Structure 1
């Protein structure tokens, strides 16, 4: 027995499946998933199973009749999805039907939907049962899962990360944008799902390392060479420099090695209105906001 990483159609997540024989990457296979038999694609090389892991099962390589039946069920699911959308709209139900998926043996149909509030779906269940004898399962999905299943384009012009390669949805906070010195514009920081961009997490650890040696924004500092003092107004982690607005009205871009952080006593001795910044080093800990 070997373990194969396989991928279902509507998600990039890889699932480990036990198989009696290895199958080449790209092979369509029939697997026994949680919902029942489905068609999936092999996305990696075979490996040895581990005792502590739990696996699904690869039943066989998909035969032409399996693929033909799978395509037929996919079309039936798409037709049913648009019918349910029309019925929901006609009944003023505040729900969006995202996807309708059958198992290969047509024993179960899963209707994925999104809604902002708890709603009664009994009328839609009746519509589904009028078109299939399969058991009906309604599954609520969040905004990120919806974008993952539908597939959208991100601000970068490429298909969104959630439907191409992300294996899990890690928490993303506005602190990540602040640490990367990005403008806090909701339109720029939100993905097609309306939530904070997943890619904000990709480089956050590196930015935290770069920020360790930079003074905090608004900290009071003095230039070692000229002796001019002022307030840090902007950090440039990638270039390793900061902008300092001096008390003489100048704006200087300098490396932190040339700066001296003012002591608390020096800050308190400043004229009123100039000592609001506080000395310090590095970013504040990331919050969960």
Structure 2
């Protein structure tokens, strides 16, 4: 047995599947996933299975009949998506229907949607009964999953990371933007999904390493070269410099390696330790 990484249509995430033969990269295969049989594409080389790992299964290489059925189901799903959107608007349902997907055997139809609050969509099932006998599964998704499924362009001009290569949504915090000395502008720090940019995490560890060699913001420092003293107002981690607002009101861009703390600041950071008391006698 072999393990093949496969990718489904609406997500870049790779799913390991057991296969009896090592299909070449790019081969479209029929797999048995959690929802049922679906079409996926092989995106990596075959490897050996690991013990105690759970895998789906590659049933076979997709035949022309499989691909024709899949294309027909895809067209029907798109028609149903627009029909359900119209019916949701007529009923005043505050919901966005993102995608409709059939399994290859049409035993299950999954309707992915996003909504700001909990909402009941069972009234739409009757609309589906006239077009399919498949079981209906409503799946609520978040803003990042929505951007992943729909695909969009990021501020960099390229397709968003969640649609191209991200395998998981790692936690992203505003602290990452502060550590990278970025302006805290919500419009520039948010992606198309309205959440913090996933790419803020990519270089965060490197910035933390660079910040260890820089003084803290608002620290009182003196420049060895000019002898000027003042307050650090801004850090430039990549350049290894800081902006020093001198006591005379001048703003200087100076290397962090040429700065020294004021004597009182150094004493405050390294308080003198009191001598330990001798342990009490146990006699």
- Show the 5 A alignment for 1:1-40: 1-40=1-40
Deviation at 1:228, TM superposition (A): 1.0
Aligned to 1:285: none
Deviation at 1:266, TM superposition (A): 8.3
CA deviations 1:27-69 (Å, max 9, x no partner) are 0000000000000000000011111311000000000000000
Aligned to 1:51: 51
Whichever of the two has the greater Rg, that structure is 2
Aligned to 2:135: 135
Q: Residue 16 of structure 1 contacts residue 56 of structure 1 at CA under 8 Å; is this kept in 2?
A: yes
- Show the 5 A alignment for 1:179-258: 179-258=179-258
Aligned to 2:115: 115
Matched, 1:100 2:104: no
Q: Residue 262 of structure 1 contacts residue 279 of structure 1 at CA under 8 Å; is this kept in 2?
A: no
Distance in 2, Cα, partners of 1:84 & 1:265: 66
Query: What is the alpha-carbon root mean square deviation over aligned residues?
Result: 1.4
Distance in 1, Cα, partners of 2:190 & 2:165: 19
Which secondary structure does the structure 1 equivalent of 2:215 belong to?
coil
> Can you give the 5+ residue segments of structure 2 that lack an aligned partner in the other structure?
271-283
Deviation at 1:166, TM superposition (A): 0.2
Structure 2 length-normalised TM: 0.93
Distance in 1, Cα, partners of 2:151 & 2:112: 15
Which secondary structure does the structure 2 equivalent of 1:230 belong to?
strand
Q: Residue 220 of structure 2 contacts residue 265 of structure 2 at CA under 8 Å; is this kept in 1?
A: no
Distance in 1, Cα, partners of 2:199 & 2:92: 36
Distance in 2, Cα, partners of 1:265 & 1:148: 49
Which secondary structure does the structure 2 equivalent of 1:70 belong to?
helix
Which secondary structure does the structure 1 equivalent of 2:249 belong to?
coil
Q: Residue 261 of structure 1 contacts residue 279 of structure 1 at CA under 8 Å; is this kept in 2?
A: no
Deviation at 1:225, TM superposition (A): 2.6
> Can you give the 5+ residue segments of structure 1 that lack an aligned partner in the other structure?
268-277, 281-289
Structure 1 length-normalised TM: 0.91
Distance in 1, Cα, partners of 2:175 & 2:53: 35
